[in-house]
Amino acid sequence: MNNTEKKVHEPVFHVVKRDDMPLWKAWLIRMATIVVSFFIVGFLSIAVTGQSFAGTYETMFSGVFGRLFEGHTTMLWKYLQEIVILLSLALALTPAFKMKFWNCGAEGQALMGGLASIICMIELGDKLPYGALLAVIAITSILAGAIWGVIPAIFKALFNTNETLFTLMMNYIATQIIAYYVYIKGGGSNVINPVSAGNFPSVAGNDYFVNIAIVTVITVVMYIYLKYSKQGYEISVVGESQNTARYVGINVKKVIIRTMIISGALCGITGMLLVAGKDHSININSVGGQGFTAILMSWLGQFNPFIMVVMTAIVVFLRIGVAKVVDTALLNSSFSEIMVGVVILMLVGCEFFIHYSIKFKHKKEAGV
Amino acid sequence: MKKLICALLAVAMLFSLAACGTSSGDDSADALKVGFIFLHDEQSTYDKNFMDAAKAACEAMNVEYAQKTQIPESKDCYDAAVELIEVDGCDIIFADSFGHESFLIDAAKKYPDVEFCHATGTQAHTAGLDNFHNAFASIYEGRYLAGVAAGMKLNEMIQAGDITEDEAKMGYVGAFTFAEVMSGYTSFYLGAKSVCPSVTMDVKFTGSWYDEQKEKEAAQALISGGCVLISQHADSMGAPTACETAGVPNVSYNGSTVAACPNTFIVSSRIDWTPYFKYMIECVQNDKAIDTDWTGTIETGSVVLTDVNEKAAAEGTAEKIEEVKAKLLDGSINVFDVKNFTVTVTDELNASAVVDADGHLTSYKADVDTDEAFAKDTEVVEDGVFYESKHRSAPYFDVEIDGITLLDRNYG
């Protein structure tokens, strides 16, 4: 009898979900992961560049903060600007993700918002007073992003189409529309020169202040919306189980469409921040793939806007810092992408170990 | 135990931070430093050409330099310039991509004491800034010479009986249908025509500076359309490798492709930016003004050809190239001499051209000054020659001449 029991195949280990990890311990693991991943990045950089340990981190810091300690704040503002763009895309995706609607179309929704901005700046720049122009830019960008976001939502709500594919395809359409617009306005040279009308004002000599302020407000509002509003609660319920939502009398279709309008509108705002608040021009690379990085940021932030601030700050720090290491040591720029990938992978991996534990076979035997 | 490790790592981290705070990244105020802004990195043949030249020039002149790669054509270019100036302490800023220009001009306005140089741009002569400069090279002369090599190969094929004179058709893979590319393929064609009068050419555009698949497909389409020799103006290995596979001779660009295409590579032209970088550094060192528009030539060493691949090229190609080069240098040949080509003028085609009874250009207005309407503003034909790169360094030849057929158009 004993023999036959032993012959039953048992996996070497199996994964068990755990809910018992205390919050402080989970956060300690996360912090440790971040620290360790920074060390890995450091060591890999040293291995490739041959620089000293301190020298490598010094290069990274100088890339991000410049000569901050000597009173030069330019680079710090640039760092904050990069954070808020990625953050605002992550925030835009969060309500949709919380609803388990996989919006992979932040890139296209932001591009459409940016397109609305640049059209207003070019066509209405000399026709409207400054304040009215900014208002029109804001309204049209929000509308453009919302429309681009709501089209897949309508199809999802009415025909249950796959929103991942749908939103991805919408990105390609948006990119082609931008390419066509750049062709019309840029003529043979394929470049739209920066437009001087409808630019966000610079505050105390700082071009990015308005962008940063807007995203700060959105972060706080989004936190309150998701955590304390009725709509935020409805989003959670629909995300947990559509049947439960239906049972308690939530109009699921309405929630899906409404949430995607919000998600698209926020992406549209990001497009506006990029065009009116930064480039004053547009091209197909204006969002630069950040719409996809934002998906990860939203997840790593566990749909909590304030954690997202921390996560985006870390990822942008690495992106800029390692790029500086790359440029200083004349390395290939793929190196910085690899490093950011390593850190994101580690962060994702640590979430896995926080939420699941691995039980090995021998342990179980020991228990028996 | 885990906590202990965490704590130790955190302390170590803090130490490394502290190390940054104390040592400052100041450069000595006197040493000249050049900052380079590149669109991509060395994986693009276009940027690699600039990066190699930057390294060569700065090492030869014994000056320091800093670089920023992967800078898109957006305000990131402005920010990169600010960083190179404020953090790295650069005295000259150079950017390599067309779309960088406007953002670089913004930076030039903010930092009047720093010199800004920009390749391929068009706005320096109208921007009215003392510290913003454009540069390009008369690469059309290099392409003309490469065209001579192509024409000789065609002659060899005709003499061998492989093709008839009427079948001497070349194919050209271009990126976009605008002056920089049009000037290039026209000069290439004229070079071939100067030795093989019956030559014609088909052109296809990919709509991208770097798209290996599209360039390959365009080359294959041209070959199956009867083209017996291919050249290209785009930055990937797409066209050369398609030629090697099909056994069709190829005249390359941006550098030699002989390693990948030993049987079909004839010769390649490219712009060497080292002379310009040396020039701009010298100017700043000696407190001289940098030219608003600088055009590198064969003479300055900016327009260069690789070694001829004897295996694929016709006999005597290298000697013939030297002979024609000497004539270009002494001025006895002009690439865009109006006698060498004819132009058909219709309402849609070449509308700003005026031709005589034989179809030779007598007048042409080109879009030299950048404006929103793309107005054709400047007369460029003088004394029987279309003067390319005279009124500004970037090319403006966009005439569609007889003998070249555009199979498609692509503006991006």
Nearest to A54 among B16, B70, B374 (CB): B16
CB B343 within 8 A of CB B402: yes
Residues from chain B that touch A354, judged by Cβ atoms under 8 A, are none
Which residue in chain A is spatially nearest to B102 when comparing CA positions?
A193
A289 assigned to some structural domain? yes
B149 assigned to some structural domain? yes
In this structure, the answer to whether residues B236 and B329 fall within a common structural domain is yes
For residue B389, the model assigns a pLDDT of 92
In this structure, the answer to whether residues B148 and B201 fall within a common structural domain is yes
Which residue in chain A is spatially nearest to B19 when comparing CA positions?
A54
B22 assigned to some structural domain? no
B412 assigned to some structural domain? no
A235 assigned to some structural domain? yes
Cβ of A58 within 8 Å of Cβ of B9? The answer is no
Which range marks the domain in which residue B120 is found?
33-138+274-296
Residues from chain A that touch B19, judged by Cβ atoms under 8 A, are 54, 57-58
A262 assigned to some structural domain? yes
B78 assigned to some structural domain? yes
In this structure, the answer to whether residues B309 and B351 fall within a common structural domain is yes
A176 assigned to some structural domain? yes
In this structure, the answer to whether residues B226 and B287 fall within a common structural domain is no
A180 assigned to some structural domain? yes
In this structure, the answer to whether residues B179 and B263 fall within a common structural domain is yes
Which residue in chain B is spatially nearest to A281 when comparing CA positions?
B74
Sign of CA dihedral A153, A158, A163, A168: negative
B282 assigned to some structural domain? yes
Cβ of A75 within 8 Å of Cβ of B86? The answer is yes
Nearest to A283 among B21, B73, B179 (CB): B73
Among B58, B27, B70, residue whose Cα is nearest residue A322:
B70
In this structure, the answer to whether residues B132 and B143 fall within a common structural domain is no
For residue B15, the model assigns a pLDDT of 45
In this predicted structure, the answer to whether residue A367 has a pLDDT above a threshold of 60 is no
B200 assigned to some structural domain? yes
Q: Is some CB atom of chain B closer than 8 A to the CB atom of A36?
A: yes
Which range marks the domain in which residue A158 is found?
89-306
Q: Which of B75, B98, B177, B406 to mutate to test the interface with A (most CBs of A within 10 A)?
A: B75
**Domain tally, chain A:** 1
A2 assigned to some structural domain? no
Cβ of A54 within 8 Å of Cβ of B106? The answer is no
In this structure, the answer to whether residues B373 and B253 fall within a common structural domain is yes
In this structure, the answer to whether residues B364 and B265 fall within a common structural domain is yes
In this structure, the answer to whether residues B288 and B326 fall within a common structural domain is no
For residue A279, the model assigns a pLDDT of 95
A54 assigned to some structural domain? no
CATH of the domain at B98: 3.40.50.2300
Q: Which of A46, A111, A190, A283 to mutate to test the interface with B (most CBs of B within 10 A)?
A: A190
Q: Is some CB atom of chain B closer than 8 A to the CB atom of A349?
A: no
The interface predicted TM-score (ipTM) is 0.88
In this structure, the answer to whether residues B229 and B324 fall within a common structural domain is yes
For residue A278, the model assigns a pLDDT of 96
pTM: 0.88
Contact map slice: A 323-342 vs B, CB within 8 A: 323, 326-328, 330, 332-333
**Domain tally, chain B:** 2
How many angstroms separate the CA of residue B260 from the nearest CA in chain A? 22
How many angstroms separate the CA of residue B246 from the nearest CA in chain A? 33
Q: Is some CB atom of chain B closer than 8 A to the CB atom of A28?
A: yes
Contact map slice: A 278-307 vs B, CB within 8 A: 278-281, 283, 285-286, 288
Cβ of A193 within 8 Å of Cβ of B102? The answer is yes
Q: Is B61 exposed, middle or buried, given 0-12, 13-18 or 19+ CB atoms closer than 10 A? A: middle
Average pLDDT score over residue span A160-185: 94
CB A113 within 8 A of CB A142: yes
For residue B25, the model assigns a pLDDT of 41
For residue B347, the model assigns a pLDDT of 87
What's the pLDDT tens digit per position in A53-90? 888 899 999 999 998 888 888 899 999 999 999 999 99
Mean of all residue pLDDT scores within chain B = 90
Q: Is some CB atom of chain B closer than 8 A to the CB atom of A184?
A: no
What's the pLDDT tens digit per position in B381-404? 999 999 999 999 999 999 999 999
Residues from chain B that touch A332, judged by Cβ atoms under 8 A, are 41-43
Per-residue pLDDT tens digits of chain B, which is 412 residues long: 455 455 555 545 544 444 443 333 444 456 899 999 999 888 788 899 999 999 999 999 999 999 999 999 999 999 999 999 998 999 999 999 999 999 999 999 999 999 999 999 999 999 999 999 999 999 999 999 999 999 999 999 999 999 999 999 999 999 988 899 999 999 999 999 999 999 999 999 998 888 889 999 999 999 999 999 999 998 888 999 999 999 999 999 988 889 999 999 999 999 999 999 999 999 999 999 999 999 999 999 999 999 999 999 999 999 999 999 999 999 999 999 999 999 999 988 898 899 999 999 999 999 898 877 778 889 999 999 999 999 999 999 999 999 999 999 887 6
Cβ of A62 within 8 Å of Cβ of B9? The answer is no
Which residue in chain A is spatially nearest to B36 when comparing CA positions?
A327
In the listed set B296, B329, B360, which residue is the last one of a domain according to the structure?
B296
What's the pLDDT tens digit per position in A297-348? 999 999 999 999 999 999 999 999 999 999 988 888 888 889 989 998 998 8
Which residue in chain B is spatially nearest to A319 when comparing CA positions?
B70
Residues from chain B that touch A278, judged by Cβ atoms under 8 A, are 74-75
pLDDT bucket at A188, cuts 50 / 70 / 90: low
B242 assigned to some structural domain? yes
Which residue in chain A is spatially nearest to B394 when comparing CA positions?
A189
What's the pLDDT tens digit per position in A219-261? 999 999 999 999 999 999 999 999 999 999 999 999 999 999 9
In the listed set B241, B261, B296, which residue is the last one of a domain according to the structure?
B296
Residue found under tokens 């409808």: A198
In this structure, the answer to whether residues B175 and B291 fall within a common structural domain is no
Mean of all residue pLDDT scores within chain A = 91
Q: How far is CA A180 from the centre of its chain?
A: 27
Among B315, B244, B266, B310, residue whose Cα is nearest residue B145:
B266
Residues from chain A that touch B43, judged by Cβ atoms under 8 A, are 332
For residue B20, the model assigns a pLDDT of 41
Cβ of A32 within 8 Å of Cβ of B5? The answer is yes
How many angstroms separate the CA of residue A328 from the nearest CA in chain B? 7
Residue found under tokens 């000399």: A126
In this structure, the answer to whether residues B183 and B94 fall within a common structural domain is no
Nearest to B9 among A36, A57, A179 (CB): A36
Instruction: Give dist(CA A321, CA B220) in Å, integer.
Output: 43
A35 assigned to some structural domain? no
